[in-house]
């Protein structure tokens, strides 16, 4: 069982539906997404080049990099469209008392 280290990201309302916010913590950067199926989190930087995904396009359960159009699955982190070929790391997310938390090991 992975060690649990739940960090508060913010209020549920701080993330629009089908959108994301950038969340920085302990010198690392993440993207926290809100889609129809719930809240999800991945690493913030595209695996293709050093570009933050915070300005990317969220559609259904996919995030598309704003620089070179690499696409990842938000739930699994899988790189599903080139030029991205390495997957994004994903992190568990939970909602409690209207607050969103990310589990960062």
Partner 1 sequence: MNSLKKILIIGSGQAAIYAASEFRKNDKYSSITIFGNENHHPYERPPLSKEFLMDKKKKDEFLFFSKNFFDDHNVCFINKKIDSVDFKNKYLISFDNKKYFYDKLLITTGSTNRKVEIDKEIDNEIYYLRNLDEANKIKKKASEVNNIAIIGGGFIGLEIASSLNQQNKSVNVIEISNQLMGRIIPSPIANLVKAEHEKNGNKIHLDSKIKSIEKINDAFKILLENDHIIETEMIIGGIGSIPTTDLFNNSDLELKNGILTNKYNQTSVENVYAAGDVSNFYHPLYKKNIRLESYQHAQNQGINAGKNIAGIKSEYLSVPWMWSDQFDLNLQLTGLCDDYHEIIERGVDTENGIIHFFIKDDKIVGACGLGLVGKVGRDIRIASKLIEKQTIIDKKILSDLNQKLNPLLKK
Name the minimum Å distance from CB 66 to partner 1: 3
Q: Is 19 in the site for partner 1 (CB under 8 A)?
A: yes
Binding string to partner 1 for residues 21 to 60, with x set by CB under 8 A, is what? ------------------------------xx-xxxxxx-
Q: Interaction with partner 1 in 81-100: which residues (CB under 8 A)?
A: 82-83, 85
8 A C-beta contact, residue 68 and residue 49: yes
Burial of 33 per CB tally in 10 Å (0-12, 13-18, 19+): buried
DSSP string, 23-61: EEETTEEEEEEEETTEEEEEESB-SSSS-BGGGSEEETT
CA distance 46 to 73: 12
Taking CB under 8 A as the criterion, the residue among 7, 21, 67, 104 binding partner 1 is 67
**Integer distance in angstroms from the first to the last C-alpha of the chain?**
11
Region near partner 1 per CB under 8 A, out of 1-9, 35-43, 61-69, 93-101: 61-69
- Binding site residues, partner 1, CB under 8 A: 16, 18-19, 51-52, 54-59, 64-69, 82-83, 85
């Amino acid at each position: 069982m992975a060690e649990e280290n739940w960090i508060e990201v913010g209020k549920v309302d701080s993330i629009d539906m089908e959108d994301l916010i950038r969340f920085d913590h302990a010198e690392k950067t993440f993207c926290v997404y809100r889609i129809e199926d719930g809240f999800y989190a991945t690493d913030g930087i595209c695996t293709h080049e050093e570009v933050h995904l915070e300005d990317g396009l969220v559609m259904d359960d996919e995030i598309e990099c704003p620089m070179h159009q690499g696409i990842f699955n938000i739930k699994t982190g899988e790189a599903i469209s080139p030029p991205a070929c390495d997957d994004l790391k994903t992190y568990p997310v939970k909602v409690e008392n209207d607050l969103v938390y990310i589990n960062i090991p």
